[in-house]
């Protein structure tokens, strides 16, 4: 046993009983903020022995303990001197109605649910202490009690059992929404006001007080005549006329509706997602832990699914956060509907609620738990159906959005028996699904661990590359379709780790964006491009612009304009020699903020172009707001230009729109003479692609500069 305070005090004595030392430590830490004399016991037997040595005002008692459980300990404590007046607060499972009812039968006066919300528990103890103090005052001085009742919205009433008569204070009528004229003060009238679902618990508590001379504290609801539900705490004490013969019961009732609403609000904020109303990760894990424990006992299987929307950031950046929020809420509704349709919601006791099987831990990710599945193919059918439901287009901000989701699945007990490992394995499978192109589901397998480890290794090597300058810039020429002359270069990032082969950009760029290191890499690219422009100028070459790609993270960086000014000034360059390429999703992220940033960059004098144009959600109405210089036609339209009339029509429309806005057009990915000739006839201005040159190191790029500088 450990006593937090060793001096003799008049503070309320509290005994914390739990076989888990960590829980006791957390309880002492949380309740240490209150003026309490805290003691602890490691099991029920020790708690009974401590209570035999000295009485306690409050006992916080876990139900499930070895040696002696909470039910037995409560019964023994009630039988000890002073035990009849102690407040026994039982710690029980999530809305476990059976355990709660049994707890009251053995003498519990209140209960709290797991997982314990320490902030709410402190409020509970504050209330219990206040109620106990009010009860002592009632015994000592009736006049003082009446005043305290008026202040604390406390009502009191006494029931004469022998004559079956009751007397209510004015506050009791007020709490129940009744008047002396509208009803007769009686135990039956009060019981009738108790919520129907809780009348049995209340009646049992009063019966125990009458039959055993015990006191009780019970939190319950009452229903007023107008149908309004209020939360109250009823505290009762038997008043024996002689030992063993109870003739009267004294009751105190307090309206705690506002406190209850505050608790519910705190619980909501702590455990639920504010956007969708779904449980967050912690509440989901608490519930999943119980479900998996039940599955283990029953020998049944279960599945954890992690779902992530594909390219959600692109939609969010293009249409704004309001559209993203609308999409998330719609997806949550579709998932819940699909779970009901497939009848795969997990159900346990009083938590027979679909919502606890579906959670949103954050962002565009959702977590699902399915229990009672016989085979993995049943989960596969559900995942396939869910994919089909989510693939249906959605109207957001007056635009039809097509999207898909990636799903990772891990099976219990096949892949893991602990929920944290199950979630981790589902996350690995999710990453594998996204790496497979998205729009699909994948079951976890041991081979995926190797894939996940390789990804972690790549992240570490990428950070090493940034620190050790393992990057290079290659330059791809941009050629005039009219004259065939060099008009500029696009600088493209290449990574050659020391002693290894080159890592393709499509492998490391997404990771750089996810981890945020892309901003540092982007600054290095701008520096190197400016440095190379200065070197070519010093070598006597005629200047041509160099374009660099700016990521979404770098574009919103508050120091971007300052960085570009400093680099141009440091190398003494004409700002028009540096071109910044931004994708549609970057410039459409927030039209107002984008406009401010683009105008600031334009004031510096750099050129601005939209990269991969045609793959996003921009339009002429939006583009004309921005000070742009060029549109780069995405290679996906150029690839089949010669054979696909739709691609040709799209390019013609882009070129026509560009000319209307006074912008140049650059076709990316040109690989054949037929593509070149058709682009020229359409009126496209520039091209780049393997037809003319692959991206090459700076030294090889100088051969093209020779021709220009002649």
In the CATH hierarchy, which top-level class contains the domain 13-116? alpha beta
Kindly give the pairing relationship between strand 13-17 and strand 58-62: parallel
CATH homologous superfamily for the domain 458-709: EAL domain (3.20.20.450)
**Range 519-527 average pLDDT:** 94
The answer to whether the beta carbons of residues 479 and 485 sit under 8 Å apart is: yes
Q: pLDDT tens digits for 575-614?
A: 999 999 998 878 876 677 888 999 999 999 999 999 888 7
**398 vs 540, higher pLDDT:** 540
130, burial (CB in 10 Å: exposed 0-12, middle 13-18, buried 19+)? middle
Instruction: Identify the pLDDT of residue 5.
Output: 44
**CB of 306 within 8 A of CB of 407?**
yes
What average pLDDT does range 403-413 have in this prediction? 89
Q: What is the pLDDT of residue 141?
A: 65
Residue 459's pLDDT is 80
The residue-averaged pLDDT of 412-417 equals 86
Task: Please say whether the beta carbons of 99 and 10 come within 8 A.
Answer: no
pLDDT at 7 > cutoff 50: no
- Predicted local distance difference test score (pLDDT) of residue 94: 53
The model's confidence at residue 1, banded by pLDDT at 50, 70 and 90, is very low
Nearest C-alpha neighbor of 444 from the set 420, 424, 417: 424
Please give the structure tokens belonging to residue 306: 């992690």
| Cα gap 142→133, rounded to integer Å | 13
Between CA 332 and CA 320 the distance in angstroms is 19
Is 241 in a helix, a strand, or coil? strand
Whether pLDDT at 670 is above 60: yes
Q: What is the pLDDT of residues 123-171, one digit of tens each?
A: 888 888 888 777 777 666 665 655 665 666 678 888 888 888 888 888 8
Three-state DSSP state, 208: helix
Question: What is the predicted pLDDT for the residue at 620?
Answer: 64
The pLDDT tens digits for 304-357 are: 999 999 878 777 766 778 888 888 999 999 998 888 777 654 433 333 444 458
Mean pLDDT, residues 29-45: 90
Over residues 551-578, the pLDDT tens digits come to 988 998 889 999 999 999 999 999 999 9
- The string of pLDDT tens digits covering residues 239-250 is 876 776 778 888
Stretch 356-360: mean pLDDT, rounded?
Answer: 82
CATH superfamily to which 276-444 belongs: Reverse transcriptase/Diguanylate cyclase domain (3.30.70.270)
The per-residue DSSP string of 77-125 comes to HHHSTTGGGSEEEEEE-TT-HHHHHHHHHTT--EEEESSP-HHHHHHHH
CA-based nearest residue to 430, from 310, 281, 315, 342: 310
pLDDT score of 307: 95
Task: Name the CATH superfamily, with its identifier, for domain 137-264.
Answer: PAS domain (3.30.450.20)
Domain boundaries, the chain: 13-116, 137-264, 276-444, 458-709
pLDDT at res. 514: 75
Residue 630 buriedness (CB in 10 A; 0-12 / 13-18 / 19+): buried
Q: How far apart are CA 446 and CA 124, in angstroms?
A: 47
Stretch among 391-405, 549-563, 636-650, 682-696 having the lowest mean pLDDT: 391-405
**pLDDT on residue 349:** 33
Distance in angstroms (rounded) separating the CA atoms of residues 90 and 108:
6
Helices (H), 539-628: 552-556, 560-570, 584-587, 591-604, 620-623
Provide mean pLDDT across the span 361-389: 85
What SS3 string covers 260-296? Answer: HHHHHHHHHHHHECCCCCCECHHHHHHHHHHHHHHHH
pLDDT reading at 8 higher than 70 = no
Q: In whole angstroms, what is the distance from residue 667 CA to residue 684 CA?
A: 7
pLDDT of residue 346: 40
Q: How confident is the model at residue 675 (pLDDT cuts 50, 70, 90)?
A: very high
Length of the chain, in residues: 710
Q: At 421, which helix (H) or strand (E)?
A: helix 419-435
Query: Over 60: is that where the pLDDT of 121 sits?
Result: yes
180 CB burial (10 A radius; 0-12, 13-18, 19+): exposed
Q: What is the mean pLDDT of the chain?
A: 85
Cα–Cα distances in Å, from 626 out to 411, 546, 593, 610? Answer: 51, 21, 11, 11
Q: Is the pLDDT of residue 617 over 90?
A: no
Of 252, 296, 273, the C-alpha closest to 131 is 252
């Amino acid at each position: 046993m450990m006593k937090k305070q060793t001096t003799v005090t008049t503070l309320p004595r509290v005994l914390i009983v739990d076989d888990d030392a960590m829980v006791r430590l957390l309880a002492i830490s949380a309740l240490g903020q209150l003026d309490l004399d805290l003691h602890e016991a490691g099991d029920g037997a020790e708690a009974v022995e401590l209570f035999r040595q000295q009485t306690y005002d409050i006992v916080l008692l876990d139900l499930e303990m070895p040696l002696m459980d909470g039910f037995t300990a409560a019964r023994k404590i009630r039988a000890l001197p002073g035990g009849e007046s102690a407040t026994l607060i039982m710690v029980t499972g999530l809305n476990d109605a059976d355990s709660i009812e049994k707890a009251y039968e053995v003498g519990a006066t209140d209960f709290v649910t797991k997982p314990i919300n320490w902030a709410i528990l402190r409020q509970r103890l504050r209330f219990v202490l206040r109620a106990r103090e009010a009860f002592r005052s009632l015994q000592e001085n009736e006049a003082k009690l009446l005043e305290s009742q008026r202040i604390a919205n406390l009502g009191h009433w006494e029931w004469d059992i022998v004559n079956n008569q009751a007397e209510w204070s004015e506050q009791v009528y007020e709490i129940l929404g009744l008047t002396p004229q509208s009803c007769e003060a009686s135990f039956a009238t009060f019981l009738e006001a108790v919520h129907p679902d809780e009348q049995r618990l209340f009646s049992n508590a009063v019966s125990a007080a009458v039959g055993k001379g015990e006191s009780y504290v019970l939190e319950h609801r009452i229903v007023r005549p107008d149908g309004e539900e209020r939360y109250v705490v009823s505290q009762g004490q038997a008043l024996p006329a002689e030992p063993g013969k109870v003739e009267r019961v004294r009751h105190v009732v307090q309206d705690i509706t506002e406190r209850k609403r505050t608790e519910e609000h705190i619980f909501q904020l702590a455990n639920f997602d504010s956007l969708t109303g779904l449980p967050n990760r912690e509440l989901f894990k608490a519930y999943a832990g119980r479900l998996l424990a039940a599955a283990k006992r029953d020998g049944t299987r279960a599945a954890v699914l992690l779902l992530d929307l594909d390219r959600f950031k692109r939609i969010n950046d293009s249409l704004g956060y309001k559209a993203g929020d609308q999409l998330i809420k719609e997806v949550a509704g579709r998932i819940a509907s699909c779970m009901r349709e497939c009848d795969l919601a997990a159900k346990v006791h009083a938590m027979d609620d679909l919502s606890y099987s579906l959670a949103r831990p954050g962002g565009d990710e959702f977590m699902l738990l399915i229990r009672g599945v016989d085979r993995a193919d049943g989960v596969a059918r559900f995942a396939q159906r869910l994919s089909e439901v989510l693939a249906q287009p959605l109207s957001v901000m007056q635009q039809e959005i097509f999207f898909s989701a990636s799903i990772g699945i891990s099976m219990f007990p096949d892949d893991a028996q602990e929920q944290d490992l199950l979630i981790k394995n589902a996350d690995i499978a999710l990453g594998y699904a996204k790496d497979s192109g998205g729009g699909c589901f994948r079951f976890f397998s041991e081979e995926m661990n190797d894939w996940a480890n390789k990804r972690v290794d790549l992240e570490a090597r990428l950070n090493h590359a940034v620190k050790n300058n393992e990057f290079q810039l290659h330059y791809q020429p941009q050629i005039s379709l009219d004259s065939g002359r060099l008009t500029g270069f696009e600088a493209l990032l290449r990574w050659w780790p020391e002693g290894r082969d080159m890592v393709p950009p499509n492998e490391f760029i997404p990771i750089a964006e996810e981890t945020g290191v892309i901003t540092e890499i982007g600054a290095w690219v701008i520096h190197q491009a400016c440095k190379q422009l200065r070197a070519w100028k010093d070598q006597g070459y005629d200047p041509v612009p160099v374009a660099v790609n700016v990521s979404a993270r770098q574009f919103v960086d508050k120091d971007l304009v300052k960085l570009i000014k400093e680099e141009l000034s440091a190398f003494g360059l004409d700002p028009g020699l540096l071109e910044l390429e931004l994708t549609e999703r970057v410039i459409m992220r927030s039209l107002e903020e984008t406009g401010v940033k683009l105008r600031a960059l334009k004031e510096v004098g750099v050129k601005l172009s939209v990269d991969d144009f045609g793959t996003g959600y921009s339009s002429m109405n939006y583009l004309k707001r921005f000070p742009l210089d060029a549109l780069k036609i995405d290679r996906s339209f150029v690839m089949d230009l010669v054979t696909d009339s739709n691609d040709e029509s799209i390019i013609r429309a882009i070129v026509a729109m560009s000319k209307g806005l006074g912008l140049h057009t650059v076709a990316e990915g040109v690989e054949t003479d037929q593509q070149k000739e058709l682009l020229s006839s359409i009126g496209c201005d520039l091209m780049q692609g393997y037809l003319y040159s692959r991206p090459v190191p700076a030294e090889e790029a100088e051969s093209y500069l020779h021709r220009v500088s002649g």
